[in-house]
Amino acid sequence: MTYTEVKVKGDKKYYYRVKSVREGKKIKKERKYLGVDLSKKELKVVEKEADKELVVLSNILSNEEKKFLSEIKKEYSKEPKTNLENRYEAFCSLFTYDSNAIEGNTLTLQETSHLLFDKIVPAKSLREINEALNHKKAFDYLLNYKGDITKSFICKLHELVVKETLKSGLESQVGNYRDVQVYIRGVQWIPPKASEVSKEMKSLLSWYSRNKKKFHPIVIAAYFHSAFELIHPFVDGNGRVGRLLMNFILRKNKYPMINILNRIKKKYYTALGKAQEDGDLKPFVKLLLDILKKSNLLI
């Protein structure tokens, strides 16, 4: 059940929407902040939106899926340190290859691996070579970063991902939210205006801060990724940065990272579209779960 809780501080009233959830023999409460000193009309509107979020995100995972995630987290925690470097090189090669290939990079998996770890440069364009080298640098930065998601962290990842790969005249966009309108091929919707990007990203970061401990990490990761791609805060590199951030959330919560294969990118885009256009996050979460179930490389 959901209800509204009011907290009075001084002469102000702070409103929270509360959902009671039964977990075994315990009752857990999930809260969402609605606002301060709201009128009855305003309260009705925000209560409706809060209920949608609390109910939808809470019910995405079945008990069976929660059990699977708990088991894989336990399995991941037992991975031996002795082969960590080997697992890192294998995952980094796959993740860099697939994440770049999704965006059109033509390096093969073998070319990517040889470039990253053997310094063997393939006969490809300088831009594609830099994209692979940059992705590894961003991935390594993510692995060593001890903080949480902030604007500066996101912009640093972007700087590392797109350095020396953007078209001439876009140098000022490296590591900064875009100041121009962007359009996405193959979709009908248009990302927010450049003037709205900062506000939209601030709202997403606020959502993350409020909800990161309320919902399962894979739900948080999926929601953040879909919302990030919808905002499209950069002129280029949004997909690669978004997938890095999704994996950062999983890693921070001690879950193995997920590599979205280039060969299933149609399924990936379809699932993202469901989340972004229909507000249905379940197909995207299911896709991530399917990848985890088939993966034999935990890093």
Q: In the chain, where are the structural domains located?
A: 2-58, 63-294
The Cα 241–Cα 246 span in angstroms is: 9
Average pLDDT along the chain: 92
pLDDT of residue 173: 97
Report whether pLDDT(22) > 80.
no
Number of residues that this document lists for the chain: 299
Average pLDDT over residues 142-159: 98
| Helices 84-102, 109-118: crossing angle, 10 deg rounding | 130
The Cα 224–Cα 108 span in angstroms is: 29
pLDDT of residue 26: 56
Instruction: Say how many C-beta atoms besides its own lie within 10 A of residue 239's C-beta.
Output: 23
Tell me which residue of 102, 104, 198 sits closest to 151, measured CA to CA. Answer: 198
Strand partners, 3: 18
Average pLDDT over residues 143-152: 98
The answer to whether residues 261 and 98 touch, using CB atoms and an 8 Å cutoff, is yes
Please list the alpha-helical segments (H only) found in the chain. 40-58, 63-77, 84-102, 109-118, 126-144, 151-162, 194-211, 217-231, 238-252, 265-278, 282-294
Average pLDDT over residues 121-128: 97
The answer to whether residues 271 and 290 touch, using CB atoms and an 8 Å cutoff, is no
pLDDT of residue 43: 85
The answer to whether residues 257 and 32 touch, using CB atoms and an 8 Å cutoff, is no
Of 7-11, 25-29, 80-84, least confident by mean pLDDT is: 25-29
pLDDT of residue 21: 56
Report whether pLDDT(163) > 70.
yes
Report whether pLDDT(295) > 90.
yes
pLDDT of residue 29: 72
Entry pTM = 0.85
Report whether pLDDT(162) > 90.
yes
Tell me which residue has tokens 């034999």.
296
Report whether pLDDT(48) > 90.
no
pLDDT of residue 108: 98
Query: How confident is residue 213, by pLDDT bands cut at 50, 70 and 90?
Result: very high
Tell me which residue of 295, 219, 230, 206 sits closest to 257, measured CA to CA. Answer: 295
Q: Considering only the top CATH level, what class is 63-294?
A: mainly alpha
